[in-house]
Structure 1
Amino acid sequence: MTLVFDGDRLLAAADVARTALVEDGQRPGRHLESTPEGEWAVAHYFEADLPGYRGWQWCVVVAGAPGHDEITVSEIVLLPGEDSLLAPNWVPWNERIAAGDLTPGDMLAAEPDDHRLVPNQIDTADEFRFDDDTADPDDIGQIAGEIGLGRRRLLSPEGREEAAQRWHDGDFGPHSDMATAAPFNCATCGFYVPLAGALRPAFGVCANEYSADGHVVAAGYGCGAHSDVAAPRGQGSPAYDAFDDGVVEIVAVTADSGGDAVS
């Protein structure tokens, strides 16, 4: 003979579930619903009035067994409802961090397998050579650094390409509003300091304190503070003739019989 447990007793055991919540230190609200969770278990849902958990519900699972009248509490859990206030999906820190997030005192370690870096013994092709292969002391010094003197890891070709693309597309690239409005580009400016290595033909640093001072700029970038910009000539505004506001016009005024002034 198979004993069948009376499931109605589990569905009606809201008081048992509420008591379990109270004994757990919670303050459940009104009972919302009872849902069968299997042949011998029922979940009871209660409103949860907790700060920061709008729309969440307490769920208490009660259970029984054939041949036993005792009702036991299997689980107490806080669950979100349909209109619950939920936190955004968790994203690892290394995917959340963005440019400008680093502040004084912060430490940001590059991953061991960071594709932007390679061990120092790898040839990164970062040296810049002139077409006639003439040796330059600065180039020789840079090559010495690239083969491992002083740095454990170097910028990889992929890292260099990504940086170049960001700079090219950024505020100091050749297609920015400032560059398109400028009559000259940085490659011909006396304030332009070219970078060393493979990026030298395309990028440099601006040394003009009144312009993009200290920023990496594309050779095709430009601004109105180019070293070849000519100063305006003549007096007054370059767009309008000077106005002499020192001339005074004297007007004679007489009074008629009606008391009105007549010039």
Structure 2
Amino acid sequence: MDLARDALASEAGIGLGTIGEHLAVEATADRVVTHLFECTDPAYAGWHWAVTVTRAPRSKLVTVDETVLLPGPDALLAPPWVPWQDRLRPGDVGIGDLLPASADDERLVPLVVLEGDDAVTDWFAPRTDAENAEAGPQEPSELPAPGRSRVLSGYGRDDTAERWYESDHGPRTPLSRAAPANCVSCGFFVPLSGGLGRLFGACGNAFAPDDGRVVSADHGCGAHSEAAGTGSAVQAAAPVIDEFGYDLVDLPGVSVEETDFEPLSRDTYPESTPEG
């Protein structure tokens, strides 16, 4: 133990002022033990010094293997390191920021993949010669942008559909439940193309809360184009009037508590007869 303490003071160059009491000794291998000392440095509360010593076979000479400062159970530690790509959240990309997708992003596949679950149609790819001959010359507004090298994979489309469907623009929101009808029957609903178009479209109603956003076909809001025709009219309930009960009230000079009332009977007020 003394050898370990002296090693901390001399080899580590820390001085005896930061070395506290001897805490424990642990055997880590044959003829290899580690001595633990308290660290009294205020900047490292909860940490301890660890000095590993060893002895060669058939030798009585004990040598120092290493000295290190280690955190204890109550030590203040930095949070675990998280790679930047795992720390990103939707909306973190701002003006001027670049976030290219990695080469192995499972949400994307090369455009040449045209079979199986990843079959796609690139609506923005240039026309082939046969398509140009059939469709005729393109207007300037129809000329496509440079073709894409990658498109959504089958996994990417499923992940996108699930995220959109579970968002505030899907069917499970208070706004959608109170709507008179679904978006699929609304004149402002613009369906998407491709596989996602089976369930999603864009809202084109400037007065709708989802204007310009992707919504599910079974979403809805009060700005439905046919809201007047599809909504159920709310009818006011007829008032209920109690025609049999009565209340006794005080009148000027007449007190209800001081008045004797006779019970009503058929003898007092006989029913009227046809004869009068």
TM-score under structure 2 length normalisation = 0.61
Q: Following the alignment from structure 2 to structure 1, what is the Cα–Cα distance between the partners of residues 146 and 22?
A: 72
Is the contact made by 1:14 and 1:31 (CA closer than 8 Å) also made in structure 2? no
Q: 1:38 to 1:199 in 2, by over 3 A?
A: closer
Is the contact made by 1:17 and 1:61 (CA closer than 8 Å) also made in structure 2? no
**In structure 1, the residue corresponding to 2:202 is in which secondary structure?**
strand
Aligned to 2:74: 83
Amino acid at match of 1:20: S
Aligned to 1:229: 227
Q: 2:8 aligns with which of 18, 22, 26?
A: 18
Q: 1:38 to 1:53 in 2, by over 3 A?
A: same
Kindly report which structure 2 residues correspond to 1:56-205, keeping only aligned pairs within 5 A, or say none: 56-65=47-56, 67=59, 69=61, 71-123=62-114, 124-127=118-121, 150-205=147-202
**In structure 1, the residue corresponding to 2:165 is in which secondary structure?**
helix
Q: How much identity, in percent, do the aligned residues show?
A: 45
1:196-231 Cα shifts (integer Å, max 9, x gaps): 22322321122334511222101110112223334x
Q: 1:211 to 1:125 in 2, by over 3 A?
A: same
Aligned to 1:215: 213
Is the contact made by 1:59 and 1:76 (CA closer than 8 Å) also made in structure 2? yes
Report which stretch shifted further, 75-84 or 87-96: 87-96
Q: Following the alignment from structure 2 to structure 1, what is the Cα–Cα distance between the partners of residues 151 and 68?
A: 51
Deviation at 1:176, TM superposition (A): 2.2
TM-score under structure 1 length normalisation = 0.63
Aligned to 2:125: none
User: What is the number of equivalent residue pairs in this alignment?
Assistant: 208
Deviation at 1:193, TM superposition (A): 2.3
Is the contact made by 1:183 and 1:222 (CA closer than 8 Å) also made in structure 2? yes
Amino acid at match of 2:170: G
Is the contact made by 1:20 and 1:73 (CA closer than 8 Å) also made in structure 2? no
Q: 1:38 to 1:219 in 2, by over 3 A?
A: closer
Q: 1:228 to 1:96 in 2, by over 3 A?
A: same
Report which stretch shifted further, 58-67 or 168-177: 58-67
CA RMSD after TM alignment: 3.6
Deviation at 1:59, TM superposition (A): 0.7
Amino acid at match of 2:189: Y
Deviation at 1:35, TM superposition (A): 3.4
Is the contact made by 1:28 and 1:49 (CA closer than 8 Å) also made in structure 2? yes
Deviation at 1:162, TM superposition (A): 1.8
Specify the structure having the higher radius of gyration (Cα): 2
1:216-261 Cα shifts (integer Å, max 9, x gaps): 101110112223334xxxxxxx99xxxxxxxxxxxxxxxxxxxxxx
Q: Following the alignment from structure 2 to structure 1, what is the Cα–Cα distance between the partners of residues 14 and 167?
A: 57
Q: Following the alignment from structure 1 to structure 2, what is the Cα–Cα distance between the partners of residues 127 and 200?
A: 13
**In structure 2, the residue corresponding to 1:79 is in which secondary structure?**
strand
